[in-house]
Amino acid sequence: MAASGFEGFEKRLELRFSGSPCKKGLRCLDFSKIEKVLHAVQCTVVSAVGNTHFDSYVLSESSLFVYPTKIIIKTCGTTQLLKSVRPLVDHASTLGLTVRGCSYTRGTFIFPAAQPYPHTTFKDEVLYLEENLPKTLSIKKAAVMTSKSLHKWHVFTACADNYKDDGLFTVEICMTDLDPVLARNFFRRFNDARTGDSAGQEMTDAAGIRSVNRNALICDYAFDPCGYSMNGIDGSRYSTVHVTPEDGFSYASFESVYATREEFVEALQKVVKVFHPGAMSVSTTGREEAWRGVAKALEPLGQRIRSRAADEFPDAGTVVFQTFTSRRK
């Protein structure tokens, strides 16, 4: 934790692979190896659940999703996420898997001076990624997408082949200045003797998070004295929520994947109602038209669009970064 508060903004890494004689692919990795990687990143597993498609881990600092040929890991605080790159690529090679693509995204840190190397600057992060990824990922791009506020969206991608649309798009929502009354849902009771899992279930229901996708199997966890994480599993799709509720540096994030704008917009409105943030950003990755309708959907909820930026990335497709501020008093 930084001296001034906990860093809620996550760093997100996605690695994609090809090959493997094992049908389960990366899911065949020994858990002990995953634990060692997380130890290097400086986080641990606090809860886990899986289905026939992928394994989901709630971490002490955010989430990890392991598919047969894809790994998604996002961590908050002062974790050193990029230290997972080389060991994950090496472990995958022992299963006959070759990394074919990498994407890294993050917002603007609330406490940037507290971040350890290689997360000291985006330039340092990009250089570290280039040094630790195989040279076969020769198609690269790094960019900082700006807005009218101080918040920026940092994106790096590297791949061996250009982006191929799989019909889905990824949504990353970052929210700050949460409504203080709603943020109280993510504080545990005084002298609460329950487990993190039990307290987490209560937070999920009290805050209304379960309503975002009622088809999802939810793995939730409440931290002591406050804070919350949730991973949702719905077939082959994941969703995740992380909350730092302390006043002065309150933060919440939501991430998921969608096939249609309609289901995305419906979930977006539900998420905003859970937190009523003073400021937020919505980043859509993969499909060019995914961003359309976001501003219109948020307008009735008191969110006014401040800026919109778009860019193309060789291993991600179109990334659209939109920022909003609340008209709440």
Integer CA distances (angstroms), 104 to 123, 159, 261, 300, 329, in order: 13, 12, 23, 32, 36
Of 47, 60, 63, 76, the active-site residue reads: 76
* Whole-number Å distance between alpha carbons of 297 and 265: 7
The Cα diameter of the chain in Å comes to 58
Residue 217, both tokens: 């199997």
Give me the count of residues in the chain: 329
**Under the phi-then-psi rule, with left for phi > 0, alpha for psi from -120 to 50, and beta for the rest, what region is 177?**
left
10, β-bridge pairs = none
Residue (of 267, 263, 273, 87) closest to 179 by Cα position: 273
223 among the known binding-site residues? yes
CA 20, CA 44: separation in Å to the nearest integer? Answer: 27
d(CA 237, CA 234): 5
User: Which entry of 219, 242, 250, 281 is annotated as an active-site residue?
Assistant: 242
Secondary structure class of 264 (helix, strand, coil) = helix
Closest alpha carbon to 105 in 156, 36, 178, 63: 156
Q: Which of 170, 99, 161 is nearest to 129 (CA)?
A: 99
Known catalytic membership, residue 76: yes
> Is residue 246 marked as binding?
yes
Helix spans in the chain (H): 31-41, 85-93, 122-132, 180-183, 196-207, 261-275, 294-298
| DSSP code string of 200-229 | HHHHHHHHTGGGG-TTSEEEEEE-SSB-EE
Contacts of 18 (CB under 8 A, 6+ apart): 69, 97, 98, 100
Residue 283 a catalytic site member: no
Q: Say whether 242 is catalytic.
A: yes
**Among 229, 250, 281, 283, the one annotated catalytic:** 229
Write out the catalytic residue numbers. 62, 76, 229, 242
What residues form the annotated binding site for substrate? 6, 61, 223, 246
What residues form the annotated binding site? 6, 61, 223, 246
